[in-house]
């Protein structure tokens, strides 16, 4: 049941992050960075693709998916173009998310006014 | 039990309970986002005939759009401070951090304010993600071929 798996995986990731937040001095900035790196490490170990096939979007909505995408793109880039591929490939798969975030955030900051 | 002892007891228990409440809330909200994502992906795959990978990218963009819009409308900050990890860990947190710094620093000018602070919070995610993935991918290629 992929919907249940998505719920569990996404929930457990957030639960771990919340426990780290409440019991250490790390800020949300630290934790999101750690999880991104963790995503790249899990991808390197071959675990992240398994999480995605087990939990579907439950794994791809997390920030750790960003690390996974970076790792995958760099490896694919290497297989296509050799050493240059590490540089030119790294951002290929995550480009959509970064572009969307940058463009949407900029447009909204023009259209809307901050609360205070 | 006198008043002081009682006060001590209260102090001992309050943070724990709050931590427990936070953890449950983060789990439920995070899980809800996971289910929402999976529902959207299923709709994209079944109704629009997309491939799974394509659907996940659209989902990512959709979630960034929603999180940015809610941040710009002003009520997402409250949600994030209540749900904490449930909302800042998924992609919504990335979009939230960029949009809120864009909104907050716009008054300081487009270059020195908005431009200079745009990636203030999301920058560390991009920096450490890119650097770690870069070296890991080289290591991966060496090990796995």
Domain ranges of chain B: 3-144
* Domain count across chain A: 1
Angle between helices A2-23 and A48-55 (to 10 degrees): 130
Confidence band, pLDDT 50/70/90 cuts, at residue B17: confident
Does B83 score more than 90 pLDDT?
no
A72-84 pLDDT per residue, tens: 999 999 999 999 9
CB B29 within 8 A of CB B86: yes
Query: How many Cα atoms sit within 13 Å of A53 on the Cβ side?
Result: 5
Alpha-carbon distance B116 to nearest alpha carbon in chain A (angstroms)? 13
What's the confidence (pLDDT) of residue B100? 93
Interface of B with A in 59-88 (CB under 8 A): 59-61, 63-65, 68-69, 71-74, 77, 84-86, 88
Q: What is the ipTM of this complex?
A: 0.94
Could you list the residue range(s) of the whole structural domain that residue A106 is in? 2-111
The answer to whether residue A116 is domain-embedded is: no
pTM given for the model = 0.90
A27-61 pLDDT per residue, tens: 999 999 999 999 999 999 999 999 999 999 999 99
Residues across chain A: 116
**DSSP percent split of chain A into helix, strand, coil, nearest 5:** 80, 0, 20
CB contact under 8 Å between B129 and A36, yes or no, is yes
CB contact under 8 Å between A98 and B126, yes or no, is yes
CB B88 within 8 A of CB B80: yes
What's the confidence (pLDDT) of residue B27? 96
């Amino acid at each position: 049941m992929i919907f249940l798996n998505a719920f569990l995986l996404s929930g457990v990731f957030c639960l771990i992050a919340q426990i780290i937040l409440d019991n250490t001095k790390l800020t949300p900035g630290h934790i999101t960075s750690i999880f991104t790196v963790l995503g790249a490490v899990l991808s390197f170990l071959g675990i992240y693709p398994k999480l995605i096939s087990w939990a579907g979007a439950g794994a791809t909505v997390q920030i750790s998916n960003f690390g996974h995408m970076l790792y995958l793109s760099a490896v694919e880039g290497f297989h296509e173009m050799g050493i240059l591929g590490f540089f030119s490939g790294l951002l290929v798969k995550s480009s959509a998310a970064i572009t969307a975030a940058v463009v949407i955030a900029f447009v909204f900051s023009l259209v809307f006014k901050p609360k205070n | 039990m006198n008043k002081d002892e009682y006060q001590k007891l209260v102090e001992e228990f309050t943070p724990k309970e709050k931590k427990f409440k936070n953890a449950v809330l983060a789990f439920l909200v995070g899980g809800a986002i996971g289910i929402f994502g999976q529902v959207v992906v299923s709709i994209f795959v079944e109704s629009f005939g997309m491939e799974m990978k394509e659907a996940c990218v659209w989902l990512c963009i959709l979630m960034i759009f929603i999180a940015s819009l809610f941040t710009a409308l002003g009520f997402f900050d409250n949600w994030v401070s209540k749900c904490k990890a449930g909302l800042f860990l998924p992609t919504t947190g990335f979009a939230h951090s960029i949009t809120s710094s864009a909104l907050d620093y716009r008054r300081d000018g487009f270059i020195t304010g908005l431009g200079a602070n745009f990636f203030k919070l999301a920058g560390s995610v991009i920096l450490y993600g890119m650097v770690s993935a870069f070296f890991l991918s080289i290591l991966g290629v060496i090990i796995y071929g």
